């Protein structure tokens, strides 16, 4: 059984259809990249999978571990092992990063039938993961994402992913706004999470990220559909030729 | 004609029992006359544009007894959890038995206004000063002035621990305490007020603050009155050069509550900060009104008022900043933000900047909105359920205001009250509500 099976997925935002019949299957242990020009529906796909309000599925289905993912609320999807790394992580003044992460982790652990961690256990657990991403205590304690640089926000997303240990991670343009050093740190963090039981959907506009996070499959999204699929060499081809062949009017 | 309630009729019987010299009796009579002429404020008066005290008249509240009656114990769970010197008032009268004033540092005196009136009525009269125009409730307070707390610090003296002024209402009575805070040059003190009590009374509090050159006062107020209580407090602060006044008011009780700050900046290098957090639910009405008067330049004033409003609650912020012609190099900012948790919740604001000097930095801002959907989704996308995410975001909005409290112990004590209030809201609702509108708080 596939970990994620998307069949003929149509979705609309504000009554306008953005996804127009997506078919995609992802097995455990795989990393797939979704590339495509701006406006092709990449972020919409990530929000539909994560369950954001206002993204209305009009047709098709999404099975996650064989169950109807779309029937779950956003928080239930996360507790079931889905994780979305945001393109633009949200700043939340007044909520300390550690408080947020501990609340999230314990919600997820409870769902998995694991015990909640107390403050000391939690700090020890998080510090070990944070160190790898060059995130210190001071950054952990600050209000969530408030005043963070672009690189800090993305590292913080990867930290959350490392802490919550999802089964399916969707990375929405995690490379945007990163310089090469920050990109390497983020990619190292992501690669460390590659595991036989875990799948990743890496959404990106540029091939550059895929030098560091090497995908098993690459799909081109255009006009709300998968227009082409291939191996990792497809990314290099897109880098060379651009998206011109996919930019014409949809059939 | 504006209503005066039962106060005018009660004056003749009550006033003679309040003590004092001929001059003080005359001062009270002037207070009554001013109040009678103005009446209880209604929205017809610009300074009370959104708040109406007329319903108070119909209650016909009896005046509090001038002698302390049966002692009402301090409800410890309702007052701010602050370690400090303590002075307790029941129905506006100082209750020595419940007060704890041993160990005040040298140069610090705390006495009751009643004691000052008995000891030196002329001095008391001088301290109270003339009855002001345009403040009908200060006039009413003066008409019934008889007790309160008098805090004095000598030059350079530091009060080691906060002075906690606990004001308890024992029942549906009207009372008018007057507190006097006098800090000599370079002195510094922290005063915490807790207003608590049974439902249904009227507390008309006036606090006169005089900070001499370089003096510093941290003034924290918890308004946690009973649900049917009318609570009105006016703080009148005169700030000499380099004085530092930091006020904070946490409103969580009362049927109608108003906290008013009138600050006169009379010297250069003054720092005047006033902040507040109003937690409003049911049909509560909470009004914060400020008037910061920059008479002299080269001073700073800062205001931040936040309100969380649920049910059919109503919040008001009126902030007036005056920069007089000679007050060059003034730096004045004010900001009001309200979070509406229900469709029936309401926030009214009236910022006013009157600037007559040209070399100044002044700004004001106001934002009213419901809970933003974007942070809700972000928290939920990490596995946090809607009810918990909602609580975290409301608490975050509220707690940010508490950062204005410089004293860590008081900040923690007030923070605990915010947590309790949110927990009460949840218990009453039994469910979390996602706010219907998607508009964000700017």
ipTM: 0.96
In the Cβ-directed half-sphere of A108, how many Cα atoms lie within 13 Å? 27
User: What is the mean pLDDT of the segment spanning A114-133?
Assistant: 94
Q: What is the pLDDT, as a whole number, of residue B393?
A: 94
- B133/B30 Cα distance (integer angstroms): 11
Q: Which domain holds residue B319?
A: 7-370
Determine the distance in angstroms separating the CA of B380 from the nearest CA of chain A, rounded to an integer.
4
User: Which string of DSSP letters, residue by residue, matches B55-111?
Assistant: HHHHH-PEEPPSS--SPPPP-TTTS----SEEEEEETTEEEEEEEE-TTPPTTEEEE
A 82-101 residues with CB < 8 A to B: 83-84, 86, 89-90, 92-95, 99-100
Residue whose C-alpha is closest to residue B83's, from B415, B404, B400, B412: B412
Residues contacting residue B273 through CB under 8 Å, at least 6 positions apart: B245, B246, B247, B301, B302, B303, B404
Q: What is the pLDDT, as a whole number, of residue B428?
A: 66
- Assign residue B45 a region (left: φ > 0; alpha: ψ between -120 and 50; beta: otherwise): beta
Determine the distance in angstroms separating the CA of A100 from the nearest CA of chain B, rounded to an integer.
8
B 359-388 residues with CB < 8 A to A: 373-375, 377-386, 388
Chain A contact for B439 (CB, 8 A cutoff):
no
Q: Specify if B295 maps to a domain.
A: yes
Contact in structure between B415 and B402 (CB atoms under 8 Å): yes
Q: Specify if A249 maps to a domain.
A: no
Sign of CA dihedral A79, A85, A90, A96: positive
User: What is the mean pLDDT of the segment spanning A59-66?
Assistant: 97
pLDDT beyond 70 at A153: yes
**Whether the model pTM is above 0.90:** no
Q: If you search the block for the tokens 């959404």, which residue do you land on?
A: A203
Out of A90, A103, A107, whose CB is closest to B378? Answer: A90
Determine the distance in angstroms separating the CA of A191 from the nearest CA of chain B, rounded to an integer.
20
Domain count across chain B = 1
- Residue contact B380–A73, C-beta within 8 A: yes
Tokens standing for B373?
């959907």
Chain A contact for B437 (CB, 8 A cutoff):
no
Tokens standing for A98?
């550690």
Burial of B294 (0-12, 13-18, 19+ CB in 10 A): buried
Chain B contact for A119 (CB, 8 A cutoff):
no
- A132/B273 Cα distance (integer angstroms): 43
C-beta atoms surrounding B170 within 10 Å? 18
Paired residues of B85 in beta bridges? B163
- A49/A42 Cα distance (integer angstroms): 11
A-B C-beta contacts closer than 8 Å: 76
A 35-74 residues with CB < 8 A to B: 50-53, 73-74
Q: What is the pLDDT, as a whole number, of residue B65?
A: 78
Chain A contact for B345 (CB, 8 A cutoff):
no
- Residue contact A164–B382, C-beta within 8 A: yes
Phi, psi of B360 (to 5 degrees): -140, 160
pLDDT beyond 50 at A251: no
pLDDT per position in chain B (442 positions), as tens? 579 989 999 999 999 999 889 999 999 999 999 999 999 999 999 999 999 999 999 888 999 876 656 678 999 999 999 999 999 999 999 999 999 999 999 999 999 999 999 999 999 999 999 999 899 999 999 999 999 999 999 999 999 999 999 999 998 999 999 999 999 999 999 999 999 998 789 999 999 999 999 999 999 999 999 989 999 999 999 999 999 999 999 999 999 999 999 999 999 999 999 999 999 999 999 999 999 999 999 999 999 999 999 999 999 999 999 999 999 999 999 999 999 999 999 999 999 999 999 999 999 999 999 999 999 999 999 999 999 999 899 999 998 899 999 999 999 999 999 988 988 877 666 444 444 333 333 3
Q: Which domain holds residue A55?
A: 4-242
DSSP E strands, B155-243: 163-169, 173-175, 178-183, 188-197, 202-211, 216-224, 230-239
Burial of A132 (0-12, 13-18, 19+ CB in 10 A): middle
Chain B contact for A163 (CB, 8 A cutoff):
no
Chain A contact for B393 (CB, 8 A cutoff):
yes
Q: Specify if B398 maps to a domain.
A: no
pLDDT beyond 80 at A232: yes
- The C-alpha angle with vertex A128 and arms to A125 and A132, in degrees rounded to 5, equals 145
Out of B377, B386, B388, whose CB is closest to A52? Answer: B377
Burial B265-279 (b: 16+ CB within 10 A, else e): bbbebbbbbbbbbbb
pLDDT bucket at A249, cuts 50 / 70 / 90:
low
Q: Which of B367, B380, B383 is most worth mutating to test chain A (most A CB atoms within 10 A of its CB)?
A: B383
Sheet with B300-309: strands ordered across: B93-100, B85-90, B163-169, B188-197, B216-224, B244-251, B271-280, B300-309, B331-340, B361-369
Out of A79, A92, A94, whose CB is closest to B378? Answer: A92
Contact in structure between B213 and B242 (CB atoms under 8 Å): yes
CATH number at residue A12: 3.40.50.300
Q: If you search the block for the tokens 């012609």, which residue do you land on?
A: B325
Contact in structure between B141 and B204 (CB atoms under 8 Å): yes
- Residue contact A74–B373, C-beta within 8 A: no
Chain B contact for A103 (CB, 8 A cutoff):
yes
Out of B374, B395, B399, whose CB is closest to A90? Answer: B374
- B69/B282 Cα distance (integer angstroms): 32
Length of chain B: 442
Tokens standing for B364?
């004001």
Residue whose C-alpha is closest to residue B392's, from B368, B419, B374, B362: B419
Residue whose C-alpha is closest to residue A89's, from B152, B311, B321, B382: B382
Q: What is the pLDDT, as a whole number, of residue B70?
A: 64
Q: Specify if B431 maps to a domain.
A: no
Q: Which of A49, A54, A75 is most worth mutating to test chain B (most B CB atoms within 10 A of its CB)?
A: A75
Domain count across chain A = 1
Q: Which of A43, A49, A103, A168 is most worth mutating to test chain B (most B CB atoms within 10 A of its CB)?
A: A103
Q: Specify if A247 maps to a domain.
A: no
Q: Specify if A250 maps to a domain.
A: no
In the Cβ-directed half-sphere of A226, how many Cα atoms lie within 13 Å? 19
- A9/A19 Cα distance (integer angstroms): 7
- Residue contact B379–A50, C-beta within 8 A: no
Q: Specify if B380 maps to a domain.
A: no
Sign of CA dihedral A224, A225, A231, A233: negative
- B170/B72 Cα distance (integer angstroms): 6
Out of A78, A99, A103, whose CB is closest to B381? Answer: A78
């Amino acid at each position: 059984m596939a970990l994620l099976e998307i069949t003929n997925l149509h979705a609309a935002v504000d009554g306008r259809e953005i996804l127009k019949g997506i078919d995609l299957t992802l097995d455990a242990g795989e990393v797939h990249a979704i590339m495509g020009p701006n406006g092709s529906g990449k972020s919409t796909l990530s929000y539909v999978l994560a369950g954001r309000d206002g993204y209305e599925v009009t047709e098709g289905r999404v099975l996650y571990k064989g169950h109807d993912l779309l029937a779950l609320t956003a928080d239930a999807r996360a507790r079931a092992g889905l994780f979305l790394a945001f393109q633009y992580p949200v700043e939340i003044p007044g909520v300390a990063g550690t408080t947020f992460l501990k609340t999230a982790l314990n919600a997820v652990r409870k769902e998995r039938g694991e015990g909640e961690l107390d403050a000391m256990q939690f700090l020890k657990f998080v510090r070990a993961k944070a160190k790898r991403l060059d995130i210190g205590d001071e950054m952990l304690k600050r209000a969530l994402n408030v005043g963070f640089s672009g690189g800090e926000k993305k590292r913080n997303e990867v930290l959350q992913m490392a802490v919550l240990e999802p089964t399916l991670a969707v990375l929405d343009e995690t490379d945007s706004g990163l310089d090469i050093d920050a990109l390497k740190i983020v990619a190292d963090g992501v690669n460390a999470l590659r595991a036989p039981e875990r799948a990743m959907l890496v959404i990106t506009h540029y091939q550059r990220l895929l030098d560091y996070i090497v995908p098993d499959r690459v799909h081109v999204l255009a006009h709300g559909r998968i227009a082409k699929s291939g191996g990792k060499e497809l990314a290099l081809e897109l880098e060379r030729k651009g998206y011109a062949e996919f930019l014409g009017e949809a059939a | 004609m504006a209503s005066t309630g039962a106060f005018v009729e009660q004056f003749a019987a009550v006033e003679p029992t309040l003590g004092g010299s001929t001059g003080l009796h005359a001062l009270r009579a002037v207070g009554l006359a001013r109040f009678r002429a103005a009446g209880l404020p209604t929205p017809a008066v610009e300074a009370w544009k959104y708040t109406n005290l007329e319903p108070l008249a119909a209650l016909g509240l009896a005046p509090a007894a001038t002698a302390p009656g049966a002692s009402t114990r301090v409800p410890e769970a309702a007052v701010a959890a602050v370690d400090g010197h303590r002075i307790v008032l029941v129905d506006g009268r100082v209750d020595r038995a419940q007060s704890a004033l041993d160990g005040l540092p040298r140069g610090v005196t705390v006495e009751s206004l009643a004691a000052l009136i008995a000891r030196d009525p002329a001095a008391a009269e001088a301290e109270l000063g003339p009855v002001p125009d345009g403040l009908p409730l200060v006039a009413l307070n003066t008409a019934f002035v008889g007790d309160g707390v008098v805090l004095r610090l000598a030059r350079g003296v530091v009060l080691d621990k906060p002075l906690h002024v606990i004001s308890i209402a024992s029942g549906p009575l009207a009372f008018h305490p007057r507190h006097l805070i006098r800090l000599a040059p370079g002195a510094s003190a922290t005063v915490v007020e807790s207003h608590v009590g049974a439902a249904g009374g009227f507390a008309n509090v006036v606090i006169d603050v005089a900070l001499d050159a370089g003096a510093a006062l941290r003034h924290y107020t918890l308004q946690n009155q009973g649900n049917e209580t009318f609570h009105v407090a006016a703080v009148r602060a005169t700030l000499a050069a380099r004085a530092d006044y930091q006020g904070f008011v946490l409103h969580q009780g009362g049927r109608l509550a108003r906290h008013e700050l009138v600050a006169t900046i009379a010297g250069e290098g003054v720092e005047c900060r006033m902040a507040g957090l109003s937690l409003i639910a049911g049909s509560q009405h909470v009004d914060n009104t400020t008037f910061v008067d920059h008479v002299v330049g080269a001073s700073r004033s800062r205001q931040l008022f936040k309100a969380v409003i649920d049910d059919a609650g109503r919040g008001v912020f009126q902030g007036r900043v005056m920069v007089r012609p000679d007050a060059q190099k003034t730096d004045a900012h004010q900001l009001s933000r309200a979070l509406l948790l229900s469709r029936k919740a309401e926030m009214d604001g009236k910022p006013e900047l009157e600037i007559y000097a040209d070399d100044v930095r002044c700004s004001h801002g106001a934002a009213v909105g419901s809970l933003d959907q974007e942070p809700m989704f972000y928290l939920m996308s990490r596995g946090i359920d809607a009810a918990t995410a909602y609580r975290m975001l409301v608490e975050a909005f509220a707690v940010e205001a508490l950062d204005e409290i410089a004293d860590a112990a008081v900040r923690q004590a007030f923070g605990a009250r915010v947590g309790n209030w949110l927990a009460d809201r949840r218990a009453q609702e039994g469910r979390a509500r996602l706010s219907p509108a998607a508009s964000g708080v700017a």
